[in-house]
Amino acid sequence: MSDQLSTVLVVDDSAFMRKLISEMIESSGEYRVVGTATDGLDALEQIRTLSPDIVTLDIEMPRLDGLQALEQIMREMPRPVVMLSAAGSERGNEMTLRALDRGAIEFVRKPSGPISIDLLAVREALISALNAARAVNMAGVRTPPNAAAPVLSDEPRKRGITAATLVVAIAASTGGPRALGEIIPHLRENLEAAVLIVQHMPREFTRTLSHRLDVMSSLPVSEAEDGEPLRENQVYLAPGGFHMRVGGEPGNAAIHLDSAPTIWGVRPAADPLFVSVAEVFGAAAIGVVLTGMGRDGAEGLRRIRDAGGLGVVQDRDSSIIYGMPQAALALAGADRVAAARDMPRVIRDLCRTKQRTIGG
């Protein structure tokens, strides 16, 4: 039995944390910790020696930090890496998102102590991340992202002032931040649609992600606010911990946030957004399902297409995890299947198609 277990190397500069993380991993009965490392340099040596299937990698460490170690791992001996992040550090949040851009599969908040109330939640998140790592498409990870240059103009970008009559709703989970970084910055200022994103991620990380995308993009990107009117040429990211829906009617719609129970184990979930978009915008809606574990967004995409809207799913080759796109394609079908780097063109073309229909 043991030789069938996926092997894991645990990297952390804290002896206590190495022990705690190792115990969490082995308690699952699905993984075996083959070694531990105290920093990035030690990790590189251990990977060369032990060749683990998966690496858990602390971000902030002496000598060689997690981000530097990750870059060397991906360059020399690529394999699934799960980042471990300490709570409460804005620098740590930013480094975590940079790690996801550079090939890390997922990230997990480290427990705050041996008897912390979040210990069970951390264990569940860690095993979930390892499961994602075990299912990863490394070819998608190793393909360089189609990154956009940051928007550097000193002129403040104008937020949309025209009420949205067309909506693009996007669902993303594991691998999503990297895919969104390939898509959102390449959408043009004249999209003439509102873009709504659900990315499975805790609150402090959605805040950091929205800021990073905003800096890179021609379209303004922000965390959505409850009651906010829906404007075209504006990107709204659901804040972690809240489901996002839309209400009203095309041309007079608003965002609604709520803390209803989790769906598919997450909040925000994409299905509530997609279903509300189908109900409010009907045929004037485009649903996009990107990389991720599970099946969130599949039922919602079916509802959008049943209402006359269009559906797009990310292709297998560019998906870091093909679970969500595969489930959506099986249940809802799709009008387009595309790689992440081709999504901006696909979204633009479908928006133009819908605009002609709406205008007609």
d(CA 198, CA 239): 8
Residue (of 66, 108, 65) closest to 87 by Cα position: 108
Please tell me the predicted confidence (pLDDT) of residue 292.
Answer: 96
Q: What is the predicted pLDDT for the residue at 313?
A: 98
- Residue 156 is predicted with a pLDDT of 57
Contact criterion met (CB below 8 Å) for 37 and 9: yes
Q: Is the CB of residue 97 less than 8 Å from the CB of residue 120?
A: no
Region for 5 from its dihedrals, namely left if φ exceeds 0, alpha if ψ lies in -120 to 50, beta otherwise: beta
Which residue(s) pair with 126 in the sheet?
none
**296 in active site:** yes
Give the β-pairing of 243-249 and 252-258: antiparallel
Distance CA 166, CA 286 (A): 8
Say which of 22, 85, 173, 319 is annotated catalytic.
173
Determine which one of 13, 296, 315, 342 is catalytic.
296
Q: Catalytic pick from 13, 85, 186, 200?
A: 200
The burial of 251, by beta-carbon neighbours within 10 Å (0-12 exposed, 13-18 middle, 19 or more buried), is given as exposed
C-beta separation of 231 from 159 below 8 A: yes
Please tell me the predicted confidence (pLDDT) of residue 145: 80
For the whole model, what pTM was predicted? 0.92
Domains and CATH numbers, the chain: 2-134 (3.40.50.2300), 167-359 (3.40.50.180)
Q: Per residue of the chain (360 residues), what is the pLDDT tens digit? A: 345 899 999 999 999 999 999 999 999 999 999 999 999 999 999 999 999 999 999 988 888 889 999 999 999 999 999 999 886 667 778 888 999 999 999 999 887 666 566 788 889 999 999 999 999 999 888 777 877 666 655 555 666 589 999 999 999 999 999 999 999 999 999 999 999 999 999 888 999 999 999 999 999 999 999 999 999 999 999 999 999 999 999 999 999 999 999 999 999 999 999 999 999 999 999 999 999 999 999 999 999 999 999 999 999 999 999 999 999 999 999 999 999 999 999 999 999 999 888 765
User: What pLDDT, on a 0 to 100 scale, did the predictor assign at position 174?
Assistant: 95
The phi and psi torsions of 36 (rounded to 5 degrees) equal -135, 160
Per DSSP, 81 falls in state E
312 and 339 in contact (C-beta within 8 Å)?
no
Decide if 329 contacts 315 (C-beta within 8 A).
no
Q: How many CA atoms lie within 13 A of 118 on its CB side?
A: 11
* Stretch (H or E) spanning 107: strand 106-109
